[in-house]
Every structure is written in structure tokens, then in C-alpha cells.
Amino acid sequence: MRYKFEDIEKILEFKTWTDKNKIDELLRIDCSLYAHLGIDSTKSEKDEVKRRSIEIYRTIKTIDKKLGDEFLYSEDLKQWNTTSHTLTL
């Protein structure tokens, strides 16, 4: 079965899935959101995908705190870099 963004709470509740299976499916959904954006996507569509992506990363954080934090940190870095700041690591 193909799950969608609207199914993330349901995925969390699956008792027969391992944490890895849950995270894999959440990341597949995240990837699908971005894959359906195109050069003709509006700013509001792109912003909505980003918002949903962050929500997926927060959901991942409830399963694996370290991994979720890394995804959220990555989003913060992207946000920082797109606001014309330069960050050197």
C-alpha cells in the first residue's frame, strides 16, 4: 500500500512495523512530496511541501530523537543559507 502525508499518524501507530520501517516510509512520503514539485510549482506549493516535510521530520523525531534532530537541523541550515547568510562549517 502507498501511504500519503495524511497517513503519518496511522504509520506511527503500527504495532507490527519496526521503527526503521516507520522511518523509511515517512522518508518515502517526504521524498514523494518533493518529487511532485516542478519548475511550474508556485511559491505557496513549495512552502506547503516544506511545511509538511518539517512535520514529517518532527514525527521521525518521536521515533528516533537523534535522527529527527539531524533532519530538522538540516532544514534550519537550508533556511539560514537562503536568507543570504553564509555559514561555514
C-alpha cell at 74: 538540516
Q: What is the predicted pLDDT for the residue at 57?
A: 97
Q: Which of the four pLDDT bands, split at 50, 70 and 90, describes residue 88?
A: low
Q: How far apart are CA 67 and CA 60, in angstroms?
A: 7
Question: What are the residues whose beta carbons fall under 8 Å from the beta carbon of 56, sequence distance 6 or more?
Answer: 5, 8, 26, 27, 29, 30
Domains of the chain, by residue range, sit at: 5-82
Mean pLDDT of 9-38: 97
The reported pTM is 0.84
**Ramachandran assignment for 87, one of left (phi > 0), alpha (psi -120 to 50 degrees), beta (any other):** beta
